[in-house]
Amino acid sequence: MSHNEYVIETQALSKRYGRKLALDHLDLRVPRGRIHAVVGANGAGKSTLFRILLGFLPPTAGSARILGRDSQRLTPEDRGRTGFVNEEHTLPGWMRVNAVTDMHRRQYPRWNEDAFRNVLGHYHVLPEQKVAQLSRGERAGFNLALALAQGPELLVLDEPTLGLDVVAKRAFLESLMYSNAAEACTVIYCSHQMEEIERVADNLIILEQGKLMHMSAPDDFCARVTYWIADIPFKGPDPRTVPGLLELQRLDGLHHYLVLDQDDEFAEFLRASGARSVQSMPVSLDRAVNGFLAKNHAAPTKAHA
Protein backbone atom coordinates (compact mmCIF):
# COMPACT_ATOMS: atom_id res chain seq x y z
CA MET A 1 0.00 0.00 0.00
CA SER A 2 1.55 3.29 -1.04
CA HIS A 3 1.66 5.98 1.64
CA ASN A 4 2.63 8.79 -0.66
CA GLU A 5 2.49 12.37 0.53
CA TYR A 6 -0.61 13.35 -1.48
CA VAL A 7 -4.05 11.71 -1.39
CA ILE A 8 -5.09 13.47 -4.60
CA GLU A 9 -2.85 14.50 -7.50
CA THR A 10 -4.04 15.81 -10.84
CA GLN A 11 -1.86 16.91 -13.71
CA ALA A 12 -3.25 19.04 -16.56
CA LEU A 13 -6.58 17.32 -15.88
CA SER A 14 -9.24 18.34 -18.40
CA LYS A 15 -12.80 17.21 -19.02
CA ARG A 16 -14.90 18.44 -21.91
CA TYR A 17 -18.65 17.96 -22.38
CA GLY A 18 -19.20 18.99 -26.01
CA ARG A 19 -18.13 22.65 -26.16
CA LYS A 20 -18.10 23.10 -22.37
CA LEU A 21 -14.77 22.67 -20.57
CA ALA A 22 -15.65 21.48 -17.03
CA LEU A 23 -12.01 20.98 -15.95
CA ASP A 24 -9.30 23.10 -17.57
CA HIS A 25 -5.74 21.70 -17.20
CA LEU A 26 -6.24 21.36 -13.44
CA ASP A 27 -3.07 20.84 -11.38
CA LEU A 28 -4.04 19.97 -7.81
CA ARG A 29 -2.14 18.26 -5.01
CA VAL A 30 -3.93 17.60 -1.74
CA PRO A 31 -1.64 16.52 1.12
CA ARG A 32 -2.46 13.57 3.36
CA GLY A 33 -4.29 14.28 6.64
CA ARG A 34 -6.81 16.81 8.00
CA ILE A 35 -9.97 18.28 6.43
CA HIS A 36 -9.75 19.98 3.03
CA ALA A 37 -12.74 22.04 1.84
CA VAL A 38 -13.39 22.39 -1.89
CA VAL A 39 -15.51 25.43 -2.81
CA GLY A 40 -16.56 27.13 -6.01
CA ALA A 41 -19.62 28.43 -7.82
CA ASN A 42 -21.95 26.00 -9.57
CA GLY A 43 -20.17 24.80 -12.69
CA ALA A 44 -16.69 25.24 -11.14
CA GLY A 45 -15.94 21.57 -11.87
CA LYS A 46 -16.18 20.09 -8.35
CA SER A 47 -18.58 17.21 -9.14
CA THR A 48 -16.72 16.37 -12.35
CA LEU A 49 -13.44 16.25 -10.42
CA PHE A 50 -14.89 13.86 -7.82
CA ARG A 51 -16.43 11.60 -10.48
CA ILE A 52 -13.07 11.32 -12.28
CA LEU A 53 -11.16 10.72 -9.02
CA LEU A 54 -13.58 7.96 -7.98
CA GLY A 55 -13.23 6.31 -11.40
CA PHE A 56 -16.85 6.93 -12.46
CA LEU A 57 -15.81 9.13 -15.40
CA PRO A 58 -12.79 9.19 -17.75
CA PRO A 59 -10.86 12.46 -18.26
CA THR A 60 -10.61 14.04 -21.72
CA ALA A 61 -6.90 14.76 -21.11
CA GLY A 62 -4.36 14.76 -18.29
CA SER A 63 -4.20 12.40 -15.32
CA ALA A 64 -5.71 11.94 -11.86
CA ARG A 65 -4.34 9.86 -9.00
CA ILE A 66 -6.12 8.99 -5.76
CA LEU A 67 -4.13 7.44 -2.87
CA GLY A 68 -1.25 6.98 -5.29
CA ARG A 69 -3.31 5.02 -7.88
CA ASP A 70 -4.45 6.06 -11.34
CA SER A 71 -8.15 6.81 -10.82
CA GLN A 72 -9.03 4.97 -14.04
CA ARG A 73 -7.44 1.72 -12.82
CA LEU A 74 -8.88 1.35 -9.32
CA THR A 75 -9.28 -2.19 -7.95
CA PRO A 76 -12.05 -3.17 -5.49
CA GLU A 77 -9.36 -3.02 -2.76
CA ASP A 78 -8.47 0.56 -3.80
CA ARG A 79 -12.15 1.53 -3.68
CA GLY A 80 -12.38 0.10 -0.16
CA ARG A 81 -9.77 2.65 0.94
CA THR A 82 -12.06 5.54 -0.07
CA GLY A 83 -15.36 6.44 1.63
CA PHE A 84 -17.93 8.54 -0.22
CA VAL A 85 -20.98 10.39 1.11
CA ASN A 86 -23.03 12.54 -1.27
CA GLU A 87 -26.09 14.76 -0.92
CA GLU A 88 -28.49 12.01 -2.09
CA HIS A 89 -27.50 9.60 0.74
CA THR A 90 -28.33 6.77 -1.64
CA LEU A 91 -29.03 3.64 0.39
CA PRO A 92 -31.56 0.87 -0.47
CA GLY A 93 -34.81 2.19 1.04
CA TRP A 94 -36.47 -1.24 1.25
CA MET A 95 -33.70 -2.72 3.45
CA ARG A 96 -33.57 -2.54 7.23
CA VAL A 97 -30.75 -0.62 8.93
CA ASN A 98 -29.23 -3.80 10.44
CA ALA A 99 -29.27 -5.61 7.06
CA VAL A 100 -27.46 -2.71 5.33
CA THR A 101 -24.95 -2.62 8.21
CA ASP A 102 -24.32 -6.41 7.97
CA MET A 103 -23.75 -6.08 4.22
CA HIS A 104 -21.11 -3.37 4.83
CA ARG A 105 -19.47 -5.36 7.65
CA ARG A 106 -18.92 -8.26 5.22
CA GLN A 107 -17.80 -6.02 2.37
CA TYR A 108 -15.05 -4.09 4.18
CA PRO A 109 -12.20 -6.07 5.82
CA ARG A 110 -11.11 -3.00 7.85
CA TRP A 111 -14.58 -2.52 9.38
CA ASN A 112 -14.43 -0.60 12.69
CA GLU A 113 -17.48 -1.34 14.87
CA ASP A 114 -16.55 1.28 17.48
CA ALA A 115 -16.39 4.01 14.82
CA PHE A 116 -19.79 2.91 13.48
CA ARG A 117 -21.49 2.99 16.91
CA ASN A 118 -19.73 6.21 17.89
CA VAL A 119 -21.09 8.12 14.87
CA LEU A 120 -24.55 6.51 14.81
CA GLY A 121 -24.90 7.33 18.52
CA HIS A 122 -25.52 10.96 17.52
CA TYR A 123 -28.76 9.88 15.79
CA HIS A 124 -31.95 8.11 16.85
CA VAL A 125 -31.69 5.27 14.35
CA LEU A 126 -33.09 1.83 15.29
CA PRO A 127 -31.63 -1.36 13.75
CA GLU A 128 -35.06 -2.70 12.71
CA GLN A 129 -36.09 0.50 10.89
CA LYS A 130 -36.24 0.47 7.11
CA VAL A 131 -33.94 3.02 5.45
CA ALA A 132 -36.98 4.63 3.79
CA GLN A 133 -38.41 5.39 7.28
CA LEU A 134 -35.36 7.45 8.30
CA SER A 135 -35.47 11.24 8.12
CA ARG A 136 -33.03 12.94 5.75
CA GLY A 137 -30.77 13.85 8.70
CA GLU A 138 -30.82 10.28 10.06
CA ARG A 139 -29.99 8.92 6.60
CA ALA A 140 -27.04 11.35 6.37
CA GLY A 141 -25.79 10.21 9.80
CA PHE A 142 -26.21 6.52 8.92
CA ASN A 143 -24.32 7.09 5.66
CA LEU A 144 -21.46 8.85 7.49
CA ALA A 145 -21.30 6.06 10.10
CA LEU A 146 -21.05 3.42 7.35
CA ALA A 147 -18.39 5.40 5.47
CA LEU A 148 -16.17 5.98 8.53
CA ALA A 149 -16.58 2.41 9.81
CA GLN A 150 -15.10 0.99 6.60
CA GLY A 151 -11.78 2.45 7.82
CA PRO A 152 -11.07 4.66 4.77
CA GLU A 153 -7.79 6.46 4.18
CA LEU A 154 -9.74 9.12 2.28
CA LEU A 155 -13.33 10.24 2.92
CA VAL A 156 -15.03 12.33 0.22
CA LEU A 157 -18.08 14.30 1.40
CA ASP A 158 -19.94 15.94 -1.49
CA GLU A 159 -22.54 18.46 -0.19
CA PRO A 160 -23.43 16.02 2.64
CA THR A 161 -25.66 18.48 4.56
CA LEU A 162 -27.66 19.78 1.59
CA GLY A 163 -31.36 19.87 2.48
CA LEU A 164 -30.80 19.15 6.19
CA ASP A 165 -32.35 21.36 8.87
CA VAL A 166 -30.17 23.30 11.33
CA VAL A 167 -30.30 20.60 14.05
CA ALA A 168 -29.45 17.78 11.62
CA LYS A 169 -26.58 19.83 10.13
CA ARG A 170 -25.12 20.41 13.58
CA ALA A 171 -25.40 16.70 14.43
CA PHE A 172 -23.66 15.77 11.17
CA LEU A 173 -20.77 18.20 11.70
CA GLU A 174 -20.28 17.20 15.33
CA SER A 175 -20.32 13.49 14.55
CA LEU A 176 -17.68 14.16 11.87
CA MET A 177 -15.48 16.44 14.01
CA TYR A 178 -15.56 14.28 17.13
CA SER A 179 -15.13 10.92 15.42
CA ASN A 180 -11.74 9.31 16.10
CA ALA A 181 -12.16 7.48 12.80
CA ALA A 182 -12.22 10.83 10.96
CA GLU A 183 -8.90 11.77 12.58
CA ALA A 184 -7.30 8.69 11.04
CA CYS A 185 -8.20 9.61 7.47
CA THR A 186 -8.01 12.57 5.11
CA VAL A 187 -11.37 14.29 4.52
CA ILE A 188 -12.32 16.15 1.33
CA TYR A 189 -15.36 18.29 2.16
CA CYS A 190 -17.30 19.94 -0.65
CA SER A 191 -19.99 22.42 0.40
CA HIS A 192 -21.63 25.76 -0.40
CA GLN A 193 -22.16 26.35 3.33
CA MET A 194 -19.31 28.66 4.35
CA GLU A 195 -20.18 28.59 8.05
CA GLU A 196 -19.64 24.79 7.96
CA ILE A 197 -16.32 25.19 6.18
CA GLU A 198 -15.21 27.89 8.61
CA ARG A 199 -15.91 25.41 11.41
CA VAL A 200 -14.35 22.21 10.07
CA ALA A 201 -11.75 22.95 7.38
CA ASP A 202 -7.98 23.14 7.86
CA ASN A 203 -7.36 23.85 4.17
CA LEU A 204 -9.43 25.83 1.65
CA ILE A 205 -9.33 24.91 -2.06
CA ILE A 206 -11.12 27.34 -4.42
CA LEU A 207 -11.99 26.12 -7.92
CA GLU A 208 -13.38 28.37 -10.62
CA GLN A 209 -14.27 27.37 -14.18
CA GLY A 210 -12.28 24.16 -13.87
CA LYS A 211 -9.07 25.83 -12.61
CA LEU A 212 -7.40 26.05 -9.19
CA MET A 213 -7.69 29.67 -8.04
CA HIS A 214 -6.43 29.44 -4.47
CA MET A 215 -5.29 27.00 -1.78
CA SER A 216 -4.44 27.91 1.84
CA ALA A 217 -5.78 27.79 5.41
CA PRO A 218 -9.19 29.56 5.55
CA ASP A 219 -7.83 32.17 8.01
CA ASP A 220 -4.95 32.99 5.65
CA PHE A 221 -7.39 33.52 2.79
CA CYS A 222 -9.64 35.73 4.96
CA ALA A 223 -6.62 37.84 5.88
CA ARG A 224 -6.05 38.62 2.18
CA VAL A 225 -9.52 40.16 1.76
CA THR A 226 -10.36 43.48 3.47
CA TYR A 227 -13.48 45.63 3.62
CA TRP A 228 -13.31 49.44 3.66
CA ILE A 229 -15.99 52.11 4.09
CA ALA A 230 -15.06 55.57 2.79
CA ASP A 231 -17.01 58.82 3.00
CA ILE A 232 -16.26 60.34 -0.41
CA PRO A 233 -18.39 63.39 -1.20
CA PHE A 234 -17.86 63.09 -4.97
CA LYS A 235 -18.27 60.21 -7.39
CA GLY A 236 -15.06 58.64 -6.06
CA PRO A 237 -12.19 57.10 -8.02
CA ASP A 238 -12.80 55.24 -11.28
CA PRO A 239 -13.35 51.58 -10.20
CA ARG A 240 -10.78 50.51 -12.83
CA THR A 241 -8.10 52.40 -10.89
CA VAL A 242 -8.94 50.88 -7.46
CA PRO A 243 -6.18 48.40 -6.55
CA GLY A 244 -7.32 44.81 -5.82
CA LEU A 245 -11.00 45.69 -6.22
CA LEU A 246 -13.38 42.72 -5.81
CA GLU A 247 -16.62 44.56 -5.13
CA LEU A 248 -17.87 48.16 -4.89
CA GLN A 249 -21.19 49.38 -3.47
CA ARG A 250 -22.39 52.94 -2.96
CA LEU A 251 -24.84 53.19 -0.06
CA ASP A 252 -26.13 56.42 1.57
CA GLY A 253 -23.27 58.49 0.17
CA LEU A 254 -20.65 56.01 1.46
CA HIS A 255 -18.39 53.88 -0.75
CA HIS A 256 -18.01 50.24 0.35
CA TYR A 257 -14.92 48.50 -1.07
CA LEU A 258 -14.07 44.79 -0.85
CA VAL A 259 -10.43 44.39 -1.94
CA LEU A 260 -7.77 41.71 -2.25
CA ASP A 261 -4.17 41.90 -1.00
CA GLN A 262 -4.31 45.54 0.18
CA ASP A 263 -2.70 46.94 3.34
CA ASP A 264 -2.84 50.35 5.05
CA GLU A 265 -1.67 51.99 1.84
CA PHE A 266 -5.20 51.40 0.55
CA ALA A 267 -6.48 53.90 3.17
CA GLU A 268 -3.98 56.44 1.79
CA PHE A 269 -5.26 55.74 -1.73
CA LEU A 270 -8.83 56.46 -0.60
CA ARG A 271 -7.81 59.67 1.20
CA ALA A 272 -5.90 60.81 -1.87
CA SER A 273 -9.12 60.14 -3.83
CA GLY A 274 -11.03 62.60 -1.64
CA ALA A 275 -12.24 60.41 1.25
CA ARG A 276 -13.08 62.46 4.37
CA SER A 277 -13.05 59.35 6.56
CA VAL A 278 -11.92 55.75 6.06
CA GLN A 279 -12.87 52.73 8.15
CA SER A 280 -11.64 49.13 7.82
CA MET A 281 -13.86 46.17 8.81
CA PRO A 282 -13.19 42.42 9.29
CA VAL A 283 -14.53 40.05 6.64
CA SER A 284 -16.26 36.67 7.09
CA LEU A 285 -15.09 33.69 5.03
CA ASP A 286 -18.44 33.70 3.23
CA ARG A 287 -18.03 37.34 2.13
CA ALA A 288 -14.36 36.85 1.20
CA VAL A 289 -14.96 33.74 -0.93
CA ASN A 290 -18.09 35.10 -2.64
CA GLY A 291 -16.38 38.41 -3.49
CA PHE A 292 -13.34 36.55 -4.82
CA LEU A 293 -15.48 34.18 -6.92
CA ALA A 294 -17.71 36.97 -8.29
CA LYS A 295 -14.62 38.87 -9.47
CA ASN A 296 -12.86 35.82 -10.89
CA HIS A 297 -16.00 34.54 -12.59
CA ALA A 298 -15.64 37.50 -14.92
CA ALA A 299 -11.86 37.23 -15.37
CA PRO A 300 -10.01 34.05 -14.31
CA THR A 301 -6.50 34.81 -13.07
CA LYS A 302 -3.58 32.61 -12.20
CA ALA A 303 -3.70 30.61 -8.96
CA HIS A 304 -2.16 32.29 -5.95
CA ALA A 305 0.20 29.84 -4.31
List, for residues 91-136, the tens digit of each pLDDT value: 888 999 999 999 999 999 889 999 999 899 888 899 999 999 999 8
Write b or e for each residue in 148-173: b if 16 or more Cβ atoms lie within 10 A of its Cβ, otherwise e.
bbbbbbbbbbbbbbbebeeebbbbbb
* pLDDT over threshold 70, residue 1: no
Angle among Cα 292, 297, 298 to the nearest 5 degrees reads 110
pLDDT at res. 58: 96
**DSSP, residue by residue, 57-70:** S--SEEEEEETTEE
Each as own residue / partner, the long-range contacts of residues 268-276 (CB below 8 Å, 24 or more positions apart, any chain) are 269/237, 269/242, 269/243, 270/228, 270/230, 270/232, 270/237, 273/230, 273/232, 273/236, 273/237, 274/232, 274/233, 274/234, 274/236, 275/230, 275/231, 275/232, 276/231, 276/232, 276/233
Could you give the C-alpha distances from 28 to 78, 111, 212, in angstroms and in order? 20, 30, 7
**In which band, very low, low, confident or very high, does the pLDDT at 304 lie, cut at 50, 70 and 90?**
very low
* pLDDT over threshold 90, residue 305: no
pLDDT at res. 295: 82
* pLDDT over threshold 90, residue 297: no
Among the residue ranges 42-56, 204-218, 235-249, the one predicted with the least confidence is: 42-56
pLDDT at res. 44: 82
Residues of the chain with pLDDT > 70, as a percent, come to 95
Give me the chain's average pLDDT, please.
90
* pLDDT over threshold 70, residue 302: no
* pLDDT over threshold 60, residue 299: no
pLDDT at res. 163: 87
Q: Is 284 exposed, middle or buried (0-12, 13-18, 19+ CB in 10 A)?
A: middle
| First-to-final CA distance of the chain | 30
Query: Nearest CA to 224 among 199, 268, 258?
Result: 258
**In which band, very low, low, confident or very high, does the pLDDT at 303 lie, cut at 50, 70 and 90?**
very low
pLDDT at res. 301: 39
Confirm if 68 and 30 have CB atoms less than 8 A apart. no
Residues of the chain with pLDDT > 90, as a percent, come to 68
Domains and CATH numbers, the chain: 6-216 (3.40.50.300), 221-298 (3.30.70)
Write b or e for each residue in 211-249: b if 16 or more Cβ atoms lie within 10 A of its Cβ, otherwise e.
bbbbbbebeebbebbbbbbbebeeebbeeeebeebbbee
The residue-averaged pLDDT of 246-255 equals 92
Q: Is 22 exposed, middle or buried (0-12, 13-18, 19+ CB in 10 A)?
A: buried
The residue-averaged pLDDT of 232-252 equals 92
pLDDT at res. 221: 95
Considering only residues 297 and 157, tell me which one the structure prediction assigns the higher pLDDT. 157
List pLDDT tens digits, range 264-283.
Answer: 999 999 999 999 999 999 89
List pLDDT tens digits, range 161-179.
Answer: 988 899 999 999 988 888 8
Stated pTM of the model: 0.88
Query: Nearest CA to 179 among 205, 150, 159?
Result: 150
pLDDT at res. 220: 94
